[in-house]
Structure 1
Amino acid sequence: MASREDVKRSEAAVSTIVNLAEEAKLASEGVKAPSHALLSISKSLVAGGIAGGVSRTAVAPLERLKILLQVQNPHSIKYNGTIQGLKYIWRTEGFRGLFKGNGTNCARIVPNSAVKFFSYEEASKGILWFYRQQSGNEEAELTPVLRLGAGACAGIIAMSATYPMDMVRGRLTVQTDKSPRQYRGIFHALSTVLREEGPRALYKGWLPSVIGVIPYVGLNFAVYESLKDWLIKSKAFGLVDENNELGVTTRLACGAAAGTVGQTVAYPLDVIRRRMQMVGWKDAASVVTGDGKSKVEYTGMVDTFRKTVRHEGFGALYKGLVPNSVKVVPSIAIAFVTYELVKDVLGVEMRISD
């Protein structure tokens, strides 16, 4: 029979082994945690990038027509409406003309979308944590106003990070055989603008873009998330399934509503931004002097706004709104739903709604 000392030694040995095992487990978890977090971040970025690429390619012809309508010279009208404009592009440039600039657009929108969705998730977490600390309610949820703030943060970060790509994308989109400069692609355009016009030229129109992105992206996220949240909690119209989830069609409708609200509010700033980017380009919108010769005189955001309204009327701020509306509604809807579906496929536990 074992002595009491033997029993004590055995218990001490078992205790030591258990403690070592627990320490090893904690160390293992400590090693795995960063890699798990990195994998989760990567999946979120990939989902956001795919969502942006798919949604933008689906509406590429309308995106190009919108820009052409925004910047065309009011004294040399080539594109007069959505249907006529698309037919004109098809007749003069063929099928490829409908997708001109889409490669550059996707090269910009993929990282932009990835950063935007990821930034929204992180901003939402931070804002929610701060809101709970301030209110003292650990069960508090994001309100529409807080979602608007998170979306605005995401939009500013994504826009600023990818703005030079947006600037050269606009020029490549309107480029023709008679354009003053011939860009061969994204990087050639970036290097040419940087060399000939300086670093500041890559950020022409940045201020109205940032101002415009606050209501645009902010409202997109706020309307989409709040509408979904309301439908799920109220179970309105019987749209919630047995898993307390909304179907793809319903989510597309929520995205369409979000896109419509956001783009209507922010559209005039998008027109101003494009005109600032296209300064000096043949056939781009410009101020016409008394002798009938075209001369660009835009010197800043306020100046562009003032002269556009004075010479072309308030309606000029909404040039291209129809094709843009037709484009934005499905584009935003497809982006939101694609993002959530891809994250489901990749096995990411959290979605923006959560």
Structure 2
Amino acid sequence: MGDGNGEDNKSATGTAPPTPQHSKSLSAQSIAKALLAGGVAGGVSRTAVAPLERLKILMQVQGNQKVYTGVWQGLVYMAKNEGIRGMFRGNWTNCLRIVPNSAVKFLTYEQLIRLLSYELKERGGDGQMTPGLRLAAGAVAGTIAMSATYPLDMVRGRLTVQVERTGNYTGILHCTRQIVGQEGLVALWRGWVPSVIGVIPYVGLNFAVYETLKDTVIQMSDVTHERQLSVWTRLGAGAVAGTVGQTVAYPLDVVRRRMQMSGWSGAQALHAEGGKAVVYSGMTDCLTRTVREEGIKALFKGLWPNYIKVVPSIAIAFATYEKLKEWMGVELRISS
């Protein structure tokens, strides 16, 4: 995913990095290994921050009735009322979604960058990737991955938000059947539009900032090949990338989550007033009503626990992905 230069540089361990391929196509083995690395990276990173992910969603969908008022208070409240198991509620579904999502996202980004570099060289250029090209490739990769796994995100959101006193879903398949049976098949895609709009800057900035920061470190240090970058350097770059991307896209994430809960009585205790579940007619209605009834700050509910979640999550995902690729001997990096 970074920018190998194809030279016979030695890594910090004294091992020469594999020579990058510059053709348009990838071998089936490279694709399989990259998908595995991306999937594992996604599962590990999300599980590590699962309680914070659940707290973020609960804070996003609660209305003026404040149940969760802060990170520590929210975590203690969940642990006290639902136990450790409750803190990880929805994580299994989240992993079922994030593993293929992460796998497709990383592989798509790598292949897009590979194709762009190839085309630039064919036109007489040096194949260097600019921040803008990385942003565009990341945006496309994120959109494809998110769209392919969106129904699982919808189900995960419902399972995550429900609590024992209001919940009525017993598992992934039961939740899916209930949503389709009671709200129609299209309900599985509720909130997809703000998700697409939000994923463009979020994933795009994640990749662009991460890759650009790595390049900057290499240029400003004695490092001659990105394989010499320490894990801590990669974690730091991933943390900055995740924070920037999430800040820009967060309001749309709030809208997406509220639309997913729209009309569902199981979330009544969290975001309903007067005994009725809130129903939104669309993205614009959800956005305007949220701001009108709760103020502009409502679009950033749960942002602080999300920062605490995003910093390690994105960092772990990037670092794990690249280390797994190195361990498996797959090289998708293209020349910068």
CA RMSD of aligned residues (A): 2.1
Q: Are 2:65 and 1:82 aligned? A: no
Question: What's the offset of the Cα at 1:137?
Answer: 2.9
Among residues 42, 67, 70, which one is paired with 2:57 in the alignment? 67
Is the CA contact 1:343–1:351 (under 8 Å) kept in the aligned structure 2? Answer: no
What is the alpha-carbon distance in structure 2 between the residues aligned to residue 295 and residue 183 of structure 1? 17
- Identify unmatched segments of 5+ residues in structure 1: 1-34
> How high is the sequence identity, in percent, across the aligned residues?
60
Q: Hey, what does 2:257 align to over in structure 1?
A: 274
TM norm structure 2: 0.87
Q: Hey, what does 1:205 align to over in structure 2?
A: 191
Q: Are 2:147 and 1:160 aligned? A: yes
Amino acid at match of 2:304: V
- Identify unmatched segments of 5+ residues in structure 2: 1-24
Is the CA contact 2:255–2:283 (under 8 Å) kept in the aligned structure 1? Answer: yes
Q: Hey, what does 1:38 align to over in structure 2?
A: 28
Is the CA contact 2:101–2:146 (under 8 Å) kept in the aligned structure 1? Answer: yes
Question: What's the offset of the Cα at 1:41?
Answer: 0.5
Higher relative contact order by CA 8 Å / sep ≥ 6: 1 or 2? 2
Is the CA contact 1:48–1:113 (under 8 Å) kept in the aligned structure 2? Answer: yes
Amino acid at match of 1:219: L
Q: Hey, what does 2:203 align to over in structure 1?
A: 217
Question: What's the offset of the Cα at 1:293?
Answer: 5.4
Q: Hey, what does 2:110 align to over in structure 1?
A: 121
What is the alpha-carbon distance in structure 2 between the residues aligned to residue 140 and residue 344 of structure 1? 23
**Residue deviations 1:286-310, cap 9 Å, x none?**
4x5xxx5545241100110000000
Q: Are 2:235 and 1:245 aligned? A: no
Residue 27 of structure 2 aligns to a residue whose secondary structure is helix
Distance of aligned partners of 1:162 and 1:243 in 2 relative to their CA distance in 1, 3 Å threshold: closer
Distance of aligned partners of 1:126 and 1:81 in 2 relative to their CA distance in 1, 3 Å threshold: same
Question: What's the offset of the Cα at 1:139?
Answer: 1.2
What is the alpha-carbon distance in structure 2 between the residues aligned to residue 316 and residue 217 of structure 1? 23
Q: Are 2:305 and 1:305 aligned? A: no
Indicate the structure with greater helix content: 1
Q: Are 2:129 and 1:142 aligned? A: yes
Among residues 144, 157, 164, which one is paired with 1:170 in the alignment? 157
What is the alpha-carbon distance in structure 2 between the residues aligned to residue 85 and residue 115 of structure 1? 33
Rg (Cα) greater in structure: 1
Question: What's the offset of the Cα at 1:36?
Answer: 7.9
Amino acid at match of 1:109: I
Distance of aligned partners of 1:148 and 1:177 in 2 relative to their CA distance in 1, 3 Å threshold: same
- How many corresponding residue pairs? 310
Distance of aligned partners of 1:185 and 1:214 in 2 relative to their CA distance in 1, 3 Å threshold: same
**Residue deviations 1:43-72, cap 9 Å, x none?**
000000000000000000100000000011
Is the CA contact 2:128–2:335 (under 8 Å) kept in the aligned structure 1? Answer: no
Among residues 112, 120, 124, which one is paired with 2:101 in the alignment? 112
